[in-house]
Amino acid sequence: MSRGPITLYKKSPFDDPFGEWHEIWCQRLPDGAAKIGNRHGWWDDQRKERHYNVPVYSEIFKKESDADLEFDKRLAEIVAQGFTFKLGTYYDATTGVAYPVRIP
C-alpha cells in the first residue's frame, strides 16, 4: 500500500504567488509496516520553490488497515482547515517528467 503524496492548498498555487500547503503520504516500509507523513510550508510560485518545508506529523503503523484509516483521518482534518485545492503527481514514464494533476 502506498498513497499520495497529495499536496493541499487553500487556493490554487497557480493563482497565489505565495501559497500555504500541506503534503500527506503513506508508504510501505521494507518490514511491511506503513508510515504516514505530513509536511507543511509555503510555495513561492515565482521562484518555483518551497519555503518553511517542515515535517509536522510522522507515525508508523504495523497494520496496513490502521495506516489507511489514519491517512483518511489526517486528510479530512487538513481539508477541514480549508485546504481544499488538491494536487497529485502524474509521472510520464516515456519522458521521465512528473506533472502536477488536480484531484477533485
Q: How far apart are CA 58 and CA 81, in angstroms?
A: 19
The alpha-carbon radius of gyration of the chain (Å, integer) is 14
| 64-91 pLDDT per residue, tens | 899 999 999 999 999 999 999 999 988 8
| 5-61 pLDDT per residue, tens | 999 999 888 888 788 999 999 999 999 999 999 999 998 878 888 888 898 999 999
Query: DSSP state, 58?
Result: E
Q: Residue 4: what residue type?
A: G
Residue 40: the pLDDT is: 96
Q: Where are the domains positioned within the chain?
A: 3-98
> Do the beta carbons of residue 102 and residue 8 sit within 8 Å?
no
Query: Partners of 87 in the beta sheet?
Result: 7, 102
Its pTM stands at: 0.84
